[in-house]
A and B are shown apart, each in its own frame.
Chain A
Amino acid sequence: MAEPATDFTLDSAALLAAEEHEVPIVGRSPTYLAWRRLRRNYFALFSLVVFFLIVVCCALAPVYARHVAHTGPNEIHATEHVSVSGKETQVVSAGSYIDPKTNEFVVRGVTVLGPTWWHAGGRFVLGADNLGRDVAVRLLYGGRNSLEIGIGSALICSFIAIVLALLAGFFRGWPDWIITRFFDLIWAFPVLLLAIAIGSALQVNGFHHFGINIEPGSNWIPLLVISYVLIPYIGRPLRGQILSLREKEFIEAAVGQGARPLRIMFSDLLPNVASTALVFFTLIIANNILTEAGLSYLGAGVQPPNPSWGNMIASGQDQIHTAPWLAILPGVAIVLTVLSMNIFGDGLRDALDPRAKVRVEH
């Protein structure tokens, strides 16, 4: 359909262009554009898939325990025998023994069954630890605990930090003053030190106030402690961004129109910081998993005998000369998980704002 030149207007320009290209010109939302950029970042997508695989494997830990390894994470098999490639070996060898041929007393350290790599029919695939527990099963259950605490605390922490940052940024004045002091108070301590301080204080007797009853040794203690300690990590940068957004004209317009504070906070401010918040959320998952590992390593997190990647490293450290895999494997698991989340977070940040001004303030 040929249009005469005099019929060309701005309104019909899009239609004309669409006819030329034979594909309608459609305006794309920023979300769609970001998604398209992310879709093309194969490295980040691959990392996300790796992370999800790890989460799924850990979630399926009971399945593995029951059907493949036929044992639980805390079951001790120290005195049992396992047939590895047909040969009967003890899970935890006694060590010193009397040589039957020469009747001499041979002194040897206690040796633990190494990784069997499926030669024992699914049992002790990654070896056993000094108490005879299956390392692969413990790794999966430990992953469950570590990921539960890491992701759970990230959710709680982000939620509280976003709410507080919105309140502080929107109302300014004295609510801002209180909330900033609150952030400063938490941030005045070295993170790990405060976490182990509160964690160990709560481990002694649990928390029995305000109707909440948490027993010592529960996973809630490290979860709540880590989320509390890292609130300023997200809260401060977000508050800064909201404060600067607050000065923009569209907020002034909304206030002038008579919009209520709640509406402005959630319909105007929040969507604009959503991309920053999302990137922080992914980064803080990684950070929390590392903090939980450190906490459990020191004994203020998940309590033994419950496995966690952190306390597996700690107990493996004692056996490092005889059974190095006990300390190496949990660390590898942590590095893979955290690295994949970090790479995805980087990719997400690049996708959401290619000339990113997202600063991770420490």
Chain B
Amino acid sequence: MVAVLFSVSVLVYVVFILVPGGDPAERMAGKNPLPANIVNIRKKWGFDKPFYVQYVKMMQKAGNGLIGKTGEYDILTSFQTRQNVVHEIKRGIPVTMSLCIGAGIIWLFFGILVGFFSAVTAGRWSDRLITTFALIGVSMPVAWLAVMLRYFLAEKPTNPIFPDGEYVPLTADPVQWAYHLLLPWFCLSVLFIGFYGRVLRSNMLDAMNEEYVRTAKAKGLSGKSILLRHVLRNSLIPIVTLFGLDFAAVLGGGAILTETVFDLKGVGWYAAQSVGDLDLPPIMGVTLYGAFFIVVFSAVVDFLYAFLDPRIRPT
């Protein structure tokens, strides 16, 4: 896992410093740099030294940022807002956490429900209806869905059913917090519910054709018991893997589009702002942050997978 984190940081370095053409110091300095800034950046980041020195210096800066030492060019500073990148990411974490944990619970629950119901009534009209809706859900660009929902449900009507974006902290008012997050939760979940529903449906249909199910039925287990205790349990294993990775992805700033449209100033939103300004240090920071989450969660998921499926042992 450490090796992956290390290679992730190397990749980030390669992508941001080595690969793009032109002078990295000029790029770091943002949109309208002063010549003194550029020289300063070049010295502090070591762009005039060989690439391994540059990499070490970059990691030093990220590390300094985490610990919180100050100094204008010593820490991973965004050159557009002159803020410490790590500090900004920390500010966005509560919002992103609220959005993602809530949405995660919703999409896991409904995804499994939808998939289960669809597999149990396979071939009939209810299955076809659910599958069609799932396909439509998977085909929608999240940004567009968010814009449409926000416009039609929260901005246009004179008595909107839902509030128009903005985030109310949990500590301030829990009811408003949940109320404001309903639309974003729905938006973020739609794609995943469709996807998980289809995956669970196909897994369950495959499991229902397995021999052990036939044996269980021959032994006299009731249909419902078979479904719940054997088929569902075994079909849930790949879902756990998927959920772990997807959850880590959105937690690490993957819900960029939803956060941007609904004005929820989380980690993803911060990344989107920096893209607009072509401001590289925050993008680097958020990318590292997201990768960290995914690496940690895949290790957890691998471990869990071995626990759930006795045929697989941790290596």
Number of residues in B with C-beta < 8 Å to the partner? 62
A343 near B135 with CB under 8 A, answer: yes
Residues in chain A near residue B12, CB distance under 8 A: 197
Set A190, A317, A355: member contacting B254, Cβ < 8 A: A190
Most chain B beta-carbon neighbours within 10 Å: one of A193, A310, A324, A346: A193
Q: Which of A181, A196, A207 contacts B7 (CB 8 A)?
A: A181
The listed residue (A188, A191, A202) touching B4 by CB distance below 8 A is: A188
How many residues in A have their beta carbons less than 8 Å from beta carbons of B?
Answer: 57
Determine the distance from Cα of A173 to Cα of B271 in the docked complex, in whole angstroms: 39
**Do the beta carbons of B147 and A190 come within 8 Å of each other?**
no
Stretch from A159-167, A271-279, A293-301 contacting the other chain: A293-301
Closest B residue to A213 by beta carbon equals: B21
User: In the complex, what's the smallest C-beta–C-beta distance from A161 to chain B, in angstroms?
Assistant: 18
Known contacts: A185-B4, A185-B11, A324-B151. The answer to whether A192 contacts B257 by CB under 8 A is yes
Which of chain A's residues 332-350 have a Cβ closer than 8 Å to chain B?
334-335, 338-339, 342-343, 346
Known: A190-B252, A293-B143. A185 touches B7 (CB 8 A): yes
A330 and B144 within 8 A (CB): yes
Q: Is residue A107 contacting chain B, with contact meaning CB distance below 8 A?
A: no
Question: Hey, what's the 0/1 contact readout for B270-285 against A, CB within 8 Å counting as 1?
Answer: 0110011010100110
**Interface status of B249 (Cβ within 8 A of chain A):** yes
Q: Which of B84-92, B103-111, B175-183, B288-296 contacts the other chain?
A: B288-296
Tell me, yes or no, whether A200 is within 8 Å of chain B by CB. yes
A118 to B252, CA, bound (A): 47
Q: Which one of A321, A331, A334 lies within 8 Å of B155 (CB-CB)?
A: A321
Contact B256 A357 (CB under 8 A): no
Do B287 and A197 touch across chains, with their CB atoms under 8 A apart? yes
Does B246 interact with chain A (Cβ within 8 Å)?
A: yes
Contact indicator B148/A189 (Cβ below 8 Å): no
A28 within 8 A of B: no
Bound-state Cα–Cα, A359 to B271, Å: 32
**A192 and B256 contact, CB distance less than 8 A:** yes
The reply to whether B275 and A300 contact each other, CB–CB distance below 8 Å, is yes
Residue interface mask A216-245, B partner, CB < 8 A = 1: 000000000000000000000000000000
Binding site of A, secondary structure by majority: helix, strand, loop or mixed?
helix
Closest chain A residue to B141 by CB distance?
A: A293
The smallest beta-carbon distance between A180 and chain B, in angstroms, is 11
B135 & A339 in contact (Cβ 8 Å cutoff): yes
Q: In the assembled complex, which residues on chain A have CB atoms less than 8 Å from the CB atom of B8?
A: 185, 188-189
Q: Roughly how many angstroms separate A338 CA and B268 CA in the complex, as a whole number?
A: 25
Q: Which residues of B contact A83 (CB under 8 A)?
A: none
Query: In this assembly, does B245 line the interface, its C-beta being within 8 Å of a C-beta of chain A?
Result: yes
Q: State whether the Cβ of A209 lies closer than 8 Å to any Cβ in chain B.
A: yes
In whole angstroms, how far apart are the Cα atoms of A111 and B276 in the complex?
27
Task: Find B278's partner among A193, A204, A356, A361 (CB 8 Å cutoff).
Answer: A204
On whether the beta carbons of B141 and A334 are closer than 8 Å, the reply is yes
Q: Which residues does chain A contribute within 8 Å of B261, judged by CB atoms?
A: 317
Q: Smallest CB–CB gap between A67 and chain B, Å?
A: 30
A-B contact list, 23 entries, CB within 8 Å: A188-B291, A190-B249, A192-B256, A193-B286, A198-B15, A200-B275, A201-B20, A204-B278, A205-B20, A206-B20, A293-B144, A298-B272, A317-B261, A320-B155, A321-B155, A327-B144, A327-B148, A330-B144, A342-B135, A359-B203, A361-B238, A362-B195, A362-B246
Chain A residues with CB under 8 Å of chain B are 181, 184-185, 187-194, 196-198, 200-209, 286, 290, 293-294, 297-300, 310, 313-314, 317, 320-321, 324, 327-328, 330-331, 334-335, 338-339, 342-343, 346, 355-357, 359-362
The 5 closest A-B pairs by CB, nearest first: A331-B144, A190-B254, A205-B22, A208-B21, A339-B139
